[in-house]
Amino acid sequence: MSQPEQIQALKALRDWWAEMGVDADEAEIRALTKAARTSVGPAAPPQTARRPRAIPKEKRHEDWVEEARNLARAAATMADLKAAIEGFDGCLLKEAARNAACYDGVEGAPVMVIGEGPGAEEDKQGKPFVGRAGQLLDRMLAAIGLSRATNVFITNVNYWRPPGNRNPTDDELALCRPFVDRMVEIGQPKLIIAAGGVSAKSLLNASIGIMKLRGTEQMLETPGGYSAPLFPIFHPAFLLRRPEEKSRAWRDLLQIQERLEGLS
Ligand code: URA
């Protein structure tokens, strides 16, 4: 199929889904259309008299991580960091996302919550934890006197919504990591809450899962030399699916509350 035919076919598929009442994932369709536009079409007829055009070299993953590091290092404020993340083109997830969900809450707050990554609602609003899971997170925080309006800063280990809400890959997490570390260095939280296994494992470089990590106190150390205690908790989306786990989540919240009181 030629490129225009592929694009036409994708548009027809989307329209057909819409007619059938299927909720098409617009972001995914946009990404597929873009991929079709940039994919290599059928071989062009040989051009005998001309030299082949130089094909620009793709930037390697490690180069993008290095660029993320440089951008993050140069950021002095959260606003700088947000601008750097939004301008960063190294993560392919950005192609399909509507917005980067960078952060919400109070800059410089004593508590920083770090989640996994945006879902549909976060993608739409460009803010972390604003969907159903976010509402539960707000209630969990409120139960121990915390709120994004007064004493909590909220972010994620990945800023762009993965298609179909899959988990971010290790490469995608590595591309965001310099920004996450810098956010911790700028925000200087007294205590960090890692919401969910993806966040906890990635922040701690751990191979054990959330079932073993929750209820334990860990330490996050950034490359710039800032360190803070980190508490992994169950992800609120998990608790929505498994309400019977709320009692263990409650215990973890009480442990966090007690630790925070000791820090102030
Ligand atoms: N889940 C997360 O981990 N982060 C969000 O921002 C939303 C849902």
Q: In CATH, what number is assigned to the domain containing residue 232?
A: 3.40.470.10
The tokens describing 134, both together, are: 């976010």
- Residue 251 within a domain: yes
Assess whether 29 and 72 both reside in one domain: no
Query: Is the dihedral angle over the CA atoms 100, 91, 169, 97 positive or is it negative?
Result: positive
Assess whether 130 and 9 both reside in one domain: no
The tokens describing 237, both together, are: 């989306």
- Number of domains observed in the structure of the chain: 2
CA of 130 to the centre of ligand 1 (A): 8
The predicted pLDDT at position 204 comes to: 98
pTM for the full predicted model:
0.81
Q: Is the minimum distance from the CB of 101 to ligand 1 under 6 angstroms?
A: yes
Which among 102, 112, 114, 116 is the best mutation to test ligand 1's pocket, defined by most ligand atoms within 8 Å of the CB?
116
Q: Is the minimum distance from the CB of 156 to ligand 1 under 6 angstroms?
A: yes
CA of 9 to the centre of ligand 1 (A): 33
Assess whether 23 and 90 both reside in one domain: no
Under DSSP, the state recorded for 211 is H
Q: In tens digits, what is the pLDDT along the chain, a chain of 264 residues?
A: 555 555 555 555 554 444 444 445 555 555 655 655 554 444 444 444 555 555 556 899 999 999 999 999 999 999 999 999 999 999 999 999 999 999 999 999 999 999 999 999 999 999 999 999 999 999 999 999 999 999 999 999 999 999 988 999 999 999 999 999 999 999 999 999 999 999 999 999 999 999 999 999 999 999 999 999 999 999 999 999 999 999 999 999 999 999 999 997
The angle, 0 to 180 degrees and rounded to 10, between the axes of the packed helices 3-19 and 26-38 is 170
Q: What residues make up the domain containing 140?
A: 61-263
Which among 112, 129, 152 is the best mutation to test ligand 1's pocket, defined by most ligand atoms within 8 Å of the CB?
129
- Residue 47 within a domain: no
Determine the 3-state secondary structure of 213 from DSSP: helix
Assess whether 89 and 185 both reside in one domain: yes
- Residue 65 within a domain: yes
Assess whether 207 and 115 both reside in one domain: yes
- Residue 239 within a domain: yes
CA of 129 to the centre of ligand 1 (A): 5
Assess whether 84 and 29 both reside in one domain: no
- Name beta bridge partners: 219: 229
Per the listing, tokens 């940039």 go with 38
- Residue 42 within a domain: no
Assess whether 11 and 123 both reside in one domain: no
Assess whether 71 and 115 both reside in one domain: yes
Instruction: Tell me which H or E stretch contains 7.
Output: helix 3-19
Assess whether 199 and 102 both reside in one domain: yes
Q: What DSSP assignment string belongs to 222-242?
A: -TTS-EEEEEEE--HHHHHH-
State the alpha helices, DSSP H only, in 99-245. 120-125, 132-142, 170-187, 197-204, 210-213, 236-241
The predicted pLDDT at position 264 comes to: 76
- Residue 15 within a domain: yes
Assess whether 123 and 203 both reside in one domain: yes
Assess whether 175 and 78 both reside in one domain: yes
- Residue 105 within a domain: yes
- Residue 46 within a domain: no
Assess whether 23 and 109 both reside in one domain: no
